[in-house]
Structure 1
C-alpha cells in the first residue's frame, strides 16, 4: 500500500511516509556498518560507532545541548521515560505531573507508587488541556523531586509552556522531565535555553525516523540509576556498570541500523526546520478543524483552530462509537485514523470524553490539502448517513 492508495492521518502514532534518505541511510548501515559499535576495533565496528556518534551530534544540534554524550539512545519515548523515572526517583519522593499525560508517564509513576511509596499529584487541566501554572506551582512540596510534563497533549494538541514550567521547577529546586513525544521535530526545543533537565523523545514520529528508536537527554549534572545493566564494550573487567556516558545507559547491542535512519530523519528535520514543519502542519490542522466544526453532529476536542497547537484533531461523531467511525473511514474511504482512549484516560476525563473516547486524526508534513478535503468529504458523508 502506498501514498496513492491510503490517506494517512495517524502521524501522532508514527509518521509516514518517511523521507527517502531515511531508508537509504538504513540500507547503507545494514550493508556497511552492521558490526557491534564499541565492541571491536575492526573497520566495520568503527563505522558502526561512527553511526551512533553522528546521531548524537545531529540530535544535540537540533535540541540545543552541548555534549552529544548527554544523549542515551532508547527504543522509544516510553523506554526513555522509564529510564528517567525509575532512574531518578527514590522511595518516598513526591512527583508533580498533569492530567493530560500519556500512560507512558502515568503507569511507571503508579508502579513506583506501589513499589516505593512515591507520592504523585496530577494537576488537573481544563477541558482544552490548558494547565493552571499557579496550581502547578502550589503543588510543589519540600519532598517534590520531579515535575513531569508533556510538551503537547497527544489527545488535544495543546502545547504546554515548557519554559514557564521549567522556571517554576528551577525556582523550587526541582528537576523537570519533558515528554516530547508529540513535539520533537515539530516544535523548537532548546533544552539548555528552556531549562529542561531531562528530555524523552521518539525517533518514529516528528523526527521521521524508524520505529524502535528514540532518546533521553540527561543534564550533565544528573546521574540516574541505570534501567538496564550489561555489556557496553567499555570497562569490561569491572562487575559494575561504567559511569561514563553514554555507556552507562546503553547496555547491550544497540539498534545501529535504526539509529542511522533516525539520524537521517533528524538531519531532514534540521534542514526543513521545526518551525517550517510546524507552520505547514498547523495550516493543515486548521483546515481540518474548521471543516469538521461546520459539520452538524461533530464535536472537536481541544483548543480552537485559532490556537497554537500540534497537528492533532480529536473528534466525535454524535451517536457513533469512535471505533466505528475509524473503521468506516478505513474500510470505505481508505483513511487511516486512530480511535479509542489514546493511552490517556485522565486526559479524557479532563476533556469530558471518558465514557466515549474519540477519533484522532493527525496530519503530517507530507499530508496534502487534497487529503484534508477527502477526509472532510468522508466525515460529511458519514454524518449525513447517520442523520438519514
Structure 2
C-alpha cells in the first residue's frame, strides 16, 4: 500500500478545490471591510458591498458574452438557478423537452411541475457515450413545447452536448433554450448570443473556482420569469408586488456578498488564465487518467472514448467490485478523494448501463498534477489486483 501524506483531490465535478489564493482573500476582506447589506443603504459600507456584486456581474457578463450584467441573477447554486428557470417560465399545459443525461436538479423540478400543474415532458435518450441526436429533439417538439433543457456537459459521462445546434433549433422553432452549465462554466467557451442560450444556470463553486453557496442564472432580456421568492429588494419597497427591475426581481433578501466576492475573484482568475487554456490542461489530465485506467484489467470507463472532447470527468466501474468500496479504499488507504454512487443522475446511469451499480467518478481540476493522476491509477490497480487475488 502506498502511503499518501497529502490529500489528492479528484472530486472537482462536485466542488473545485483548492481555490485560487485571491478567492479566500476576497471573502475575508469582504467580511472585514464590506459587511453591510448591498442595495439596502446609502452609507459607504453598503455602497461598497453593492459594488462587489456589480463587479462580479460584470466579470460574469464578460465571461459568458452577456450584454447587460443586470440580466444575471445571483443564486445559491445551479440547483436554485434551474428551479428559478423551470418553475418561473413553464405554465400549466406547457411541454418541456430534456435529455436522459440530466441531473436531478432538472428532472425533479420538471416532475414536480408535472404533478402540480400538469405540464408535459419528454426526455430524449442519448446513447451510452453521451451523444445526443438533435434530430430526435426536433422530432419531439409539439405546438405546446415551450422549453428545451439540456446539460452542457454530463456530470457522469463528461460528454459535451451540441448546445449551439440546440440553440439554432430552438430559435427556428420558437422555443426557449435552458442550459445547465454546472460542468462547463469556466471550462468550456460559452457565448449566450452566438449559442442561442435564453437561460443559463451556472454554479460558482465548480469551474468558476468560487465558494459554495454561489451561482446564478442568466435570463434573456426579452424573458420574464415568475420569481421563485418574493420579499425585500431595497427597490420599490412601497409596492406590494415584487418589482420588475432587474436583477432585484429575482434576488429577494440579503445576498451572499462575501461568497460573491470570492466568486468574483474566481471568475477573474478564469478570465486571466483563459477558458481554453484551462480546458486544454484538464483535457490532457483526463486523457492521461483514461489511458491509465484502461490498462487495468476489468476496468470500464463510461462516456466518450479517449481522444473525443469531453470535460474532466472520468467515471468507471471495476469488474466484481462495488464502486462505494473502491471510493472508500481510495480515500482511507491512499488519501485520494473521488465520488461513488449515482451522482444525482439516475437517468444518466440508465443511459450508461450502470443503474444497478452506480460508478466511481474521478474529476481532475486545473490544480491537479500529472503525478496525482499516476497515484490514482496506481491505487486503482493495486486495489483491483488485491480484490482479484482475494476472489
Alignment-derived partner of residue 147 in structure 1:
148
Mapped partners of 1:137, 1:354: distance in 2: 27
RMSD: 0.8
Structure 2 counterparts to residues 53-202 of structure 1, below 5 A: 53-202=54-203
How far did 1:293 drift? 0.5
Q: Which runs of 5+ in 2 are unaligned?
A: none
Closer, same or farther: CA 42–4 of 1 in aligned 2, 3 Å = farther
DSSP-derived class of the 2:258 partner: helix
1:124-176 residue CA offsets vs partner (Å, 9 max, x unmatched): 01001110111111001110000000000000000001000111111110000
Q: Which runs of 5+ in 1 are unaligned?
A: none
Alignment-derived partner of residue 275 in structure 1:
276
Alignment-derived partner of residue 388 in structure 2:
387
Q: Which runs of 4+ in 1 moved over 4 A?
A: none
DSSP-derived class of the 1:194 partner: coil
Matched pairs, number: 386
Mapped partners of 1:139, 1:208: distance in 2: 37
Alignment-derived partner of residue 37 in structure 1:
38
Closer, same or farther: CA 4–64 of 1 in aligned 2, 3 Å = farther
Mapped partners of 2:290, 2:5: distance in 1: 23
Does the 8 Å CA contact 2:5/2:335 hold for their aligned counterparts?
Answer: no
Alignment-derived partner of residue 243 in structure 2:
242
DSSP-derived class of the 2:216 partner: strand
The answer to whether 1:373 aligns with 2:366 is no
DSSP-derived class of the 1:72 partner: strand
Mapped partners of 2:162, 2:270: distance in 1: 22
DSSP-derived class of the 2:364 partner: coil
Alignment-derived partner of residue 330 in structure 1:
331
Mapped partners of 2:388, 2:247: distance in 1: 58
TM-score scaled by length of structure 2 = 0.98
Alignment-derived partner of residue 20 in structure 2:
19
Structure 2 counterparts to residues 265-344 of structure 1, below 5 A: 265-344=266-345
Mapped partners of 2:52, 2:134: distance in 1: 41
How far did 1:4 drift? 6.0
